Amino acid sequence: MDDLVADRRLKRDSKVASRRPWIILLVLVLLGLAVWGAWTLAQNAQSGGSGGPGGGPGGFGRRGGRPATTVGVATASLADIPVTLDALGTVTPVATATVTPQVGGTITQILFREGQMVKRGQALAVIDPRPLEMALLQAQGTLTRDEAQLANARLTLGRYRTLLAQDSIARQEVDTQAATVKQLEGTVMTDRAAVGTARLNLGYSRVVAPFDGRVGLRAVDVGNVIAANSTTGIVVETQVAPIDVQFTVPQDQAPEIMGLAARSALPVTVLDRTKTKALATGTFATLDNQVDPTTGTVRAKARFANGDAVLFPNQFVNVRVTLNTLQKAVVAPLTALRTGPNGDYVWIVKTDQTVTMRQVKRGQTTPSQVVILSGLSAGEKVVTEGGDRLTEGGKIMLPGQTRNRRSGGKPGEAGAPASRPRPGRRCRRRARRCARPAPATCRRCAPAPRVAKR
């Protein structure tokens, strides 16, 4: 029994010993393939993916190479780009007033509609004028009485002076009568002022608009008794044409803005909340005379005609001030500009449809374009889409191109004429035995041509 077990163990060990060299050889082959693959990847990374063993640019071999990347391309051009300053502003009316009566009384008429555009001096409301008319009559009556007394005092003074000349009266009586005349003259002057005040109060019974503007919602109705100089008033009026927009600018740019505004009028555009639609266009008015220390900004104001009433008081808007215009600046699409560890750069497309990275310096930007101050010339093509997959010297493909290697033109060239594929081995053999020329297709593309019978 022990001999049988020993024989089996000996046979098993001999089989393992016979397979061991093959296992070692397989391990060595796998290690060699792994080393070769790592070396190939390292070489491809150093060359930017431009080549590999047995292949052309952008590939690892004849058929298994890295495919070219399809990208979007645009051409840098020259354009006039405005230099702008964006800020958040608030629409403020040029004038706003709470229309309040200067006399108290009962409101008998409301002569405006809520939200109506009114003119300066237009009547808005009427207060009951009858008490004011009576006050005017009373003042006029007092004036008439005092004027009569003044006339009588003047006649008496004349008689006294005649008697004094005849030495028939004492000088003291003459002087007393002269003082009485002066006193009555003052009384008459006071009465005339009272008449004028009563006449003004009667005129104030018609409440008028102080300027051209738009009235809001009324605060009182017909039949209400309102006091003079009431805090609530009758209605609030605002001037909406023209209208101002207040915004803030950084304190560092305040001197530049003041210098530009002194030379010429700076155009200002008001945009909606999404900055896609221009609401109105006006001109820059002025800067405030001090800097806000809490924010480091200076308040500014721009004026707009607002004839179509697009701007509404206390409305929040986006303000864009045009400071200058760059003439014939090199511009590129904003999507072409990228930022890396060394700064801004773009991918330049060469004539052989390879790309190279180039550092650039950006300038003024617009919603769709960016000014390139240095590093790019007009007419050069830059990559706008697909730049994240590119490497230095890598191959690219333009939209619409294909990777058909059987075309008559260059691989990947769109619209290249189709050429006659090379016939297979079997087709060439049949061509030698056939009286006709070599077939245009091989057996893989179409059935083999019929062979002429001898």
Q: Is residue 346 part of a domain?
A: no
Q: Are residues 300 and 254 in the same domain?
A: yes
Q: Which residues contact 164 (CB under 8 A, 6 or more apart)?
A: 171, 174
**pLDDT tens by residue, 347-380:** 999 888 899 999 999 888 887 888 998 888 889 9
Predicted TM-score (pTM) of the model is 0.60
Alpha helices in 47-105 (DSSP H): none
Confidence grade of residue 4 (pLDDT, cut at 50, 70, 90): low
Which among 237, 261, 295 is the end of a domain?
237
Confidence grade of residue 200 (pLDDT, cut at 50, 70, 90): very high
Residue with tokens 């010429």: 264
130, 263 in Cβ contact below 8 A?
no
pLDDT at residue number 318: 94
360, 345 in Cβ contact below 8 A?
yes
Tally of domains within the chain: 4
Mean pLDDT of 304-331: 91
Q: Are residues 449 and 428 in the same domain?
A: yes
pLDDT at residue number 7: 67
Q: Are residues 231 and 126 in the same domain?
A: yes
pLDDT at residue number 452: 46
Q: Give percent of the chain above pLDDT 90.
A: 48
pLDDT at residue number 18: 66
Q: Are residues 213 and 115 in the same domain?
A: yes
List residues bridging with 69 in a β-sheet. 396
How many Cα atoms are found within 13 Å in the side-chain-facing hemisphere of 83?
12
Q: Are residues 112 and 232 in the same domain?
A: yes
Q: Is residue 400 part of a domain?
A: no
The whole-angstrom separation of Cα 194 and Cα 187 is 11
| 192, pLDDT greater than 80 | yes
Of 269, 265, 309, the C-alpha closest to 286 is: 265
The whole-angstrom separation of Cα 73 and Cα 401 is 13
Residue with tokens 């003004």: 200
The whole-angstrom separation of Cα 392 and Cα 29 is 34
pLDDT at residue number 294: 92
The whole-angstrom separation of Cα 88 and Cα 277 is 15
Q: Are residues 8 and 114 in the same domain?
A: no
Which among 205, 237, 269 is the end of a domain?
237
pLDDT at residue number 157: 92
Q: Which residue has the higher pLDDT, 24 or 285?
A: 285
Q: Which residue has the higher pLDDT, 1 or 258?
A: 258
Mean pLDDT of 249-261: 91
Which among 312, 327, 342 is the end of a domain?
327
Of 319, 316, 393, 328, the C-alpha closest to 354 is: 393
**pLDDT tens by residue, 387-435:** 888 888 888 888 777 655 444 444 444 444 444 445 444 554 444 444 4
pLDDT at residue number 66: 58
Confidence grade of residue 438 (pLDDT, cut at 50, 70, 90): very low
Domain range for 441: 420-454
If you average pLDDT over each of 44-48, 55-59, 235-239, 376-380, which comes out highest? 235-239
Mean pLDDT of the chain: 82
Q: Are residues 229 and 128 in the same domain?
A: yes
The whole-angstrom separation of Cα 269 and Cα 204 is 42
Confidence grade of residue 246 (pLDDT, cut at 50, 70, 90): very high
Tokens linked to 298: 């200076």
403, 396 in Cβ contact below 8 A?
no
Mean pLDDT of 307-327: 91
Residue 303 has what DSSP assignment? E
- Rounded to 5, what percent of the chain is helix, strand, coil? 30, 30, 40
The whole-angstrom separation of Cα 405 and Cα 412 is 7
